[in-house]
């Protein structure tokens, strides 16, 4: 939840005009929903599919990595709205996210890569929600070096998330994926050839390195 909430705030601050972002989200959603992508799924691993979506994003945005990571965050979120608790009135509102039309959105969700890590659940859902966490935090990590967002993010986490979040239970796998996403964003500033799968693999390799 944290990465999505922060991304919403930063979207309004850094990208007040969202038409360009919406076009990128629609393009990526249509790509993932396409028969062409289904063909890719039949011949490639889910990690390779993540890289293909990422490469499409940076090409579509003219190698604007910050905008590409932001578009990837919204394009890989498997829901159209997020619940936010209004503390004074104790009411939950559902904040709409930038997303494609319903039919494209549903097909996109069916095709999203979901078996990303050694511990991805062996279910139909898998880790389909982890891509948005990864790319949302990659956007934050990458943009911190450009916009000096550390103070803003710290304030936001303390004052907004604690008051407005609906679910208080901590998902430690989310936090773990968030960290790797943040590292990907930071490293991308130093090496634009880096791919998401290379960082995601490190998470799995770390497990096997330290497992008994």
pLDDT digits (tens, 9 = 90+) for 113-167: 999 998 899 999 999 989 998 998 898 899 876 555 544 444 344 334 444 454 5
pLDDT in the model for residue 13: 46
Token pair, residue 57, equals 């994003």
pLDDT at 67 > cutoff 60: yes
Give the pLDDT confidence of 16-63 residue by residue, as tens digits.
455 888 999 999 999 999 999 999 999 999 999 999 999 999 999 999
Tell the burial category of 169 from Cβ atoms under 10 Å away from its Cβ (0-12, 13-18, 19+): exposed
pLDDT in the model for residue 195: 98
Distance CA 61, CA 56 (A): 9
Distance CA 59, CA 94 (A): 32
pLDDT in the model for residue 203: 83
Tell the burial category of 161 from Cβ atoms under 10 Å away from its Cβ (0-12, 13-18, 19+): middle
User: Predicted confidence band at 1 (pLDDT cuts at 50, 70, 90)?
Assistant: low
pLDDT in the model for residue 150: 44
pLDDT at 207 > cutoff 70: no
Distance CA 129, CA 113 (A): 10
pLDDT in the model for residue 28: 98
- Closest to 72 measured CA to CA, from 25, 34, 107, 22: 25
Give the pLDDT confidence of 7-17 residue by residue, as tens digits.
555 554 445 45
Give the pLDDT confidence of 74-93 residue by residue, as tens digits.
999 998 887 776 767 777 77
Bigger pLDDT: 120 vs 5: 120
Q: Which helix (H) or strand (E) holds 93?
A: strand 91-96
Distance CA 166, CA 171 (A): 13
3-class SS at 86? Answer: strand
- Closest to 188 measured CA to CA, from 130, 131, 132, 143: 143
Distance CA 173, CA 130 (A): 9
pLDDT in the model for residue 62: 96
Rg of the Cα atoms in the chain:
17
Crossing angle of helices 102-111 and 35-43, rounded to 10°? 0
Q: What is the mean pLDDT of the segment spanning 102-122?
A: 95
DSSP string, 121-149: -SSSSTTTTHHHHHHHHHHHHHHHHHH--
pLDDT at 69 > cutoff 90: yes
Phi, psi of 134 (to 5 degrees): -65, -50
pLDDT in the model for residue 10: 53
Tell me the whole-structure pTM to 2 decimals: 0.81
């Amino acid at each position: 939840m944290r990465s999505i909430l922060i991304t919403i705030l930063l979207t309004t601050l850094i990208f007040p005009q969202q038409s360009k972002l919406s076009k990128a989200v629609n393009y990526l959603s249509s790509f993932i929903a396409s028969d062409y992508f289904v063909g890719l799924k039949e011949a490639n691993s889910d990690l390779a599919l993540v890289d293909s979506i990422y490469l499409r994003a940076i090409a579509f945005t003219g190698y604007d990595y910050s905008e590409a990571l932001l578009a990837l965050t919204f394009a890989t979120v498997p829901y159209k709205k997020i619940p936010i608790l209004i503390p004074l009135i104790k009411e939950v509102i559902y904040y709409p996210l930038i997303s494609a039309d319903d039919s494209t959105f549903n097909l996109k969700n069916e095709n999203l890569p979901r078996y990303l890590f050694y511990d991805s659940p062996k279910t139909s859902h898998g880790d389909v929600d982890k891509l948005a966490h990864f790319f949302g935090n990659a956007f934050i990590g990458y943009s911190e070096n450009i916009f000096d967002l550390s103070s803003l993010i710290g304030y936001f986490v303390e004052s907004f998330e604690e008051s407005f979040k609906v679910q208080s239970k901590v998902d430690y796998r989310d936090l773990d994926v968030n960290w790797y996403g943040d590292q990907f964003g930071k490293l991308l500033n130093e090496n634009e050839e880096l791919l998401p799968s290379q960082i995601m693999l490190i998470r799995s390799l770390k497990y096997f390195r330290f497992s008994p």
